[in-house]
Amino acid sequence: MLDLHQKVNAPLQQIKEYLFEEKGVEVFIKREDLIHPNISGNKWRKLKYNLIEAKAKGYTTLLTFGGAYSNHIHALATAGKLLGFKMIGCIRGEEHFPLNSTLLSAQENGMQLHYLSRTEYREKFSKEVIEQLHQKFGDFYILPEGGTNELAVKGCSEIIDEINFTPDYLLSAIGTGGTLAGLITGMNHSGQIIGISSLKGGSFLNNDITQLLPKRHTNWEVLTDYHFGGYAKTTEELFSFIKKFKQQHHILLDPIYTSKMTYAFYQLLKKDTFKRGSKIVLLHTGGLQGWQGMIEQNKVSKEFIQAFFN
Ligand SMILES: *Cc1c(COP(=O)(O)O)cnc(C)c1O
């Protein structure tokens, strides 16, 4: 059984290397990836208050949206099963067989998959689409795409409570911006929060994140130059970076979010962006199930994975 109120295991781990000494900074990784093998990192944080709310209001069914490889779908299917919810996953695009590992595991956890055309998906918050979904599935609690809403922001702000000093810089990957909004809220006007967009052309995120913040904050920024060609796009350079980081620090990054964020961190460090004497925290938001999708799409060979996963 899953206890939504239990304290999670997400230690803060210092990593060391010569470059950090040379630049006079201390670097820590907040290991949100260790929270749960299948409800990874920030997805747990984003689900927590939503699931508490859904239970409190007596909902028995959860409905959500996501792409075919969505970490959110994966996490929700696991959490929803453990808490005894019925679940409906509205998946963008057409049904493909065999199901990929993300969708297969969601289905095995009891999530009913429902496919929306790309047009319907774009209009998913319109009255018409929601009405159709209610006609088909009855009453349900809606979790938006990526799980991002006000309650998700609240959950993510709790990450900061678990860091026992005030970071001078806090770096996190961005998809929808819910996590970053939570971090900004939790930091409460101290330090500098830097979000690395995993999407190409992510400057709209500035606006989305501002909308998610209950109050005005100025100590944050979004960097949009580290997407490696776009969302879920990868390059050989990114893979060798992941491999090198794993060999050096024994921490596996995911191919879609945390690797791009950590890569950006090194670039910023080399450019002397961080003041000497700073304490820097990198948020490992999890997402390791994303590797399975990379393997299935032949973006990376099994041999490559085996060579550095263990
Ligand atoms: C979903 C996800 C993100 C993006 O979080 P947002 O709150 O949507 O910005 C970052 N990292 C990982 C590993 C994720 O799965």
Q: What is the pLDDT of residue 183?
A: 98
Is residue 6 domain-resident? no
Between these two residues, 300 and 186, which has the higher pLDDT value? 186
Mutate to test the pocket of ligand 1, among 29, 34, 40, 71 (most ligand atoms within 8 A of CB): 71
Tens of pLDDT, residues 46-79: 999 999 999 999 999 999 999 999 999 999 999 9
Instruction: Give pTM, 2 decimals.
Output: 0.96
Mutate to test the pocket of ligand 1, among 47, 257, 262, 263 (most ligand atoms within 8 A of CB): 257
Boundary of a domain, candidates 132, 147, 162: 147
Boundary of a domain, candidates 147, 176, 209: 147
The answer to whether residues 17 and 59 belong to one domain is no
Query: What value does the mean pLDDT take over residues 269-281?
Result: 98
Q: What is the pLDDT of residue 1?
A: 64
Is residue 3 domain-resident? no
Tokens of 263: 């890569």
Tens of pLDDT, residues 21-55: 999 999 999 999 999 988 989 999 999 999 999 99
Q: Lowest mean pLDDT: which of 71-75, 140-144, 277-281, 298-302?
A: 298-302
Tens of pLDDT, residues 139-173: 999 999 999 999 999 999 999 999 999 999 999 99
The answer to whether residues 155 and 265 belong to one domain is yes
The pocket around ligand 1, CB under 6 angstroms, is made up of: 41-43, 71-72, 146, 148, 173-180, 254, 257-258, 285-287
Tens of pLDDT, residues 212-267: 999 999 999 999 999 999 999 999 999 999 999 999 999 999 999 999 999 999 99
Query: What value does the mean pLDDT take over residues 88-107?
Result: 96
**How close is the Cα of 42 to the center of ligand 1, in Å?**
6
For 243-278, give one letter per residue: b (16+ CB within 10 A) or e.
bebeeebebbbbbbbbbbbbbbbeebbeeebbeeeb
**How close is the Cα of 33 to the center of ligand 1, in Å?**
11
**How close is the Cα of 196 to the center of ligand 1, in Å?**
11
How many separate domains does the chain show?
2
Considering the chain, what percentage of its residues have pLDDT values greater than 90? 91
Q: What is the pLDDT of residue 307?
A: 75
Mean residue pLDDT of the chain comes to 95
Domain that holds residue 101: 42-147
**How close is the Cα of 208 to the center of ligand 1, in Å?**
14
**How close is the Cα of 197 to the center of ligand 1, in Å?**
10
Q: What is the pLDDT of residue 310?
A: 62
Q: Which atom of ligand 1 is nearest to the CA of 176?
A: 8
**CATH assignment of the domain containing 115:** 3.40.50.1100
Query: What value does the mean pLDDT take over residues 196-221?
Result: 97
The answer to whether residues 207 and 91 belong to one domain is no
